[in-house]
Structure 1
Amino acid sequence: MRLTNSLIVNNLMKDLNNNLKKLDRLNYQLATGKKINTPSDDPISALRSMQYQTILKQNEQYIENIDQAMDWIDTSEMALNEMNSVLQRARELAIYGANETLDQSQRDAIREEIIQLAEHLVQIANTSIGGRFIFSGHKTTTKPYTDYTTPYQGDSEYLSVEISKNIEIEYSVPGNVIFDKAFEALRDMINDLSTGNTNNLSSVTLQKLDDAINNCLSFRANLGSKLKRLELARHRFEDVNIKHTQLLSEIEDVDIAETIMNLRMQENVYRASLAAGARIIQPSLVDFIK
């Protein structure tokens, strides 16, 4: 094959351009801190990077769902703990009010305290978080109770959230399954104290209070077990994310020291190719005629 000046110059320019591209790529890697800036840099590694990023985003969404459920359960547990205190106080007053040695004025005083406890229980039942009522089922914008004598305004549905692929957990409790029994017991107690029906107060009504207390404790235990499960799930996702973040870093992040060394080597290669090109192109026919 006949070599011409044009062919030599074209080959030289192509080689110089390739060396310059390598130099530019190393410069860009140092500037961004990433080995892969476009899929064409390394298609296989780019695919693995996208897979890890997808997993991390999914896990972050699961963690967000878990945090939402945990906040809801924490608030519910605090409300039920306060509810238990109210019912325990009502039980003490029921036992005291059933004492036949009390006169009606004393029972009326107890009745007034029970009314206050019932109204406070309404406030507990209407507990909200972020403007959403936690005991209204799916009707989270509807106040579940207006007072202790009116029926439940929410629905009987449980809120649930996905905490892993195809795995959901219920994290709410509709108010009617918790508070209806308690309000019924308090209304009966108010009526018994008003009429002086100590026999009913010490038997049927007291049993209703005990049932309401046990019901409250049962739901508290159930929420506590769910909270523990959510905590374990959250820790698992955090551990998985740490591992996948490390793997993603190994694929994407540059080794600064190694890249600087490669950059200097490539700079030397480029300078050498420029010097060699200058020597090749410089002579002309006139130089040889001289």
Structure 2
Amino acid sequence: MRVTIQNLYTHNLNSLQNTTSDIARLNQMTSQGLSILAPSDDPIGAVRVMASERDLAAVGQYVKNIDAVSTSLGRAETHLSSMVEVQLRMREIGVLASTGTLSQPDRMAYAVELDELVKSLVSSINAKDDGGNSIFAGNRVEVDTVIKDATGKYVYQGDNNKRQVQTSPSSWVESNATAQDLLFSNASQDILNATVDFSNALKDPTATVGTPAFTTASAAFQASLDDTLNSINAEITNFGGIQNSLALMKTSHEEMTLFNKQVIGETQELDYAAATAEFNVKLTALKVTQATFVQVSSLSLFDHM
């Protein structure tokens, strides 16, 4: 087989181009610290990296969801605890005001305090998050949770929907509680209107202890306090359980994140020592090829005569 000058020229040109391309690729690998720049560099490794990156993205979203739910539950729990404190003071007043030895000014003073406690309770029920959304109104986050209607009665404006948030491929948790469940679904009268009725009984000089009007208002007030405190305390306990499970789930996600990052690192992280050695070999080959190419390029027919 005859090797012509054109064959030598083409061979050296291809070798020069290939070696130059290899050096450019090694330079890019070194600058990025990666051994896989394209799937063709390592098809199996590239698939492993893409799978791990998908897992990282999914786990990252779950962690964001967990943080959001945890913050939401923590904010709601703060307001629920405030409601409990208010109602405990209401209970004290209910006991003190039910003794038959109080003067009318004393009864009036307790009534005025109850009115202020109702306002405080309404403030907690109508609490909003950082985005201005009502915390206890279900999915009707744009409205105040409770308002007074035309008759002066407190009414619930929200719905009873619970928001479900995904925290893992197979886990969803509730991220809210509604005032409907906490205050307006008990067997007794809701605490807001029951307190207003009891306060009005205290203000009425004719509704003294032992009269039907006072007894009815006092009994309704005490029953509502018991039911509402039980509902709120149960929800606080439920929130605590959810928070514990969220913390465990977040720890699991963080461990999975570290694992996926380790897989990605081990798969595509550049071995700088090996890359440097290969770069030096390629650079030497390039110099030899360049020298050969110059010689071949200068050959002519007269060089063989």
Q: What TM-score range do you get, normalising by the shorter chain?
A: over 0.9
After superposing the two structures, state which structure 1 stretch, 198-207 or 27-36, moved more: 198-207
Partner residue of 1:135? 136
Distance 1:208 1:33 in 2: 67
The within-5 A match list for 1:223-238 is 223-238=239-254
Distance 2:273 2:208 in 1: 88
Could you tell me whether the CA contact under 8 Å between 1:133 and 1:142 is conserved in 2? yes
Task: Encode CA deviations 1:137-192: one digit per residue, 9 max, x unaligned.
Answer: 01111111125832100001111111112421112111121133322432232133
Secondary structure in structure 2 of the residue aligned to 1:161:
strand
Partner residue of 2:71? 71
TM-score by length of 1: 0.92
Cα distance 1:213–1:48, how it changes in 2: closer, same or farther (>3 A)?
same
Partner residue of 1:219? 235
The within-5 A match list for 1:191-270 is 191-195=200-204, 196-199=207-210, 200=215, 203-270=219-286
Distance 1:214 1:188 in 2: 21
Asked whether 1:178 is paired with 2:179, we answer no
Could you tell me whether the CA contact under 8 Å between 2:66 and 2:246 is conserved in 1? yes
Distance 2:182 2:208 in 1: 26
Cα distance 1:263–1:202, how it changes in 2: closer, same or farther (>3 A)?
same
Distance 1:27 1:202 in 2: 84
The number of equivalent residue pairs is 289
Asked whether 1:157 is paired with 2:173, we answer no
Distance 1:46 1:240 in 2: 19
Distance 1:110 1:151 in 2: 24
Secondary structure in structure 2 of the residue aligned to 1:151:
strand
Partner amino acid for 1:61?
A: Q
After superposing the two structures, state which structure 1 stretch, 50-59 or 251-260, moved more: 251-260
Distance 2:241 2:208 in 1: 41
Partner amino acid for 1:250?
A: E
Residue 39 of structure 1: CA displacement? 2.2
Residue 34 of structure 1: CA displacement? 2.0
Distance 2:64 2:10 in 1: 58
Task: Encode CA deviations 1:77-123: one digit per residue, 9 max, x unaligned.
Answer: 00001000000011111111111100122111100100000011111
Cα distance 1:287–1:222, how it changes in 2: closer, same or farther (>3 A)?
same
- What runs of 5+ residues in structure 1 fail to find an aligned partner? none
Distance 2:236 2:287 in 1: 75
The within-5 A match list for 1:58-97 is 58-97=58-97
Counterpart selection for 1:189 from 186, 189, 198 = 198
Distance 1:188 1:256 in 2: 80
Residue 53 of structure 1: CA displacement? 1.0
Partner residue of 1:14? 14
Partner residue of 1:2? 2
Partner residue of 1:286? 302
Task: Encode CA deviations 1:203-253: one digit per residue, 9 max, x unaligned.
Answer: 443232122212211111011111111111111111101110111122222
Could you tell me whether the CA contact under 8 Å between 1:82 and 1:124 is conserved in 2? yes
Residue 278 of structure 1: CA displacement? 4.1
Identical aligned residues as a percent: 26
- What runs of 5+ residues in structure 2 fail to find an aligned partner? 185-189
Distance 2:79 2:153 in 1: 20
Distance 1:66 1:31 in 2: 36
After superposing the two structures, state which structure 1 stretch, 169-178 or 28-37, moved more: 28-37
